[in-house]
Amino acid sequence: MSKKYSLWLCPSQDSTAFSFISSIINQFAQSINSPQFSPHLTLFSPIRADTDKEALDQVVEYANKLREHEFTDLSVNIVDVGTGHRFHHCLFLEEMRGPLVDANSIACKHWAAASQSPYRPHVSLVYGEYDTEKLNSLQRQVRAMLPTDMAQVSFKTNKIYVVETSGACAQWYIAGHVTL
């Protein structure tokens, strides 16, 4: 039976972005009982594979296609705090929708997936289903915590993490990574 994998871009664990994002995720996990997860931006999902090695091999091929398009690293440029009404797209840091949209489009072609339109690159802070009033309250709380210089919560990476995301958040694990 095939497993589901997702491609994540993650801030370095010693970065300001990682510290800030994980502190918000952990704070809300405790205060509103939302799931805990590692800070990341999902570049593409799902990838189906029977084994971690098979998934990693597929991502090596994808990384080669990114290099052909002159991607040597990927920047996550945070511009605001957003809300949505899907479980995994609830409260998040919005990304400026630049080259990551192109990288996602290349992934859609590579895996012959229907376009994930519109692809909205973001870094989730809370997973769950909340009413608009609660989401607006959470959004105001995060905006009050944001630094004036959004570069402090933005990050750049040359690694694409392959994460097995078949089950609940607590069961997710990093199968490996591919360097651009």
Cα gap 32→150, rounded to integer Å: 25
User: In this predicted model, which residue has the larger pLDDT, 117 or 177?
Assistant: 177
pLDDT tens per residue, range 49-70: 999 999 999 999 999 999 999 9
Cut 0.85: pTM above it:
yes
Q: What count of other Cβ atoms lies within 10 Å of the Cβ of residue 113?
A: 14
Give the closest residue to 7 by CA, choosing from 65, 58, 53: 58
Domain ranges, residue 128: 3-179
Cα gap 104→112, rounded to integer Å: 12
- In the chain, the number of structural domains is 1
Q: What CATH number is given to the structural domain containing 154?
A: 3.90.1140.10
| Band of residue 113 on the pLDDT scale cut at 50, 70, 90 | confident
- At 17 the three-state DSSP class reads helix
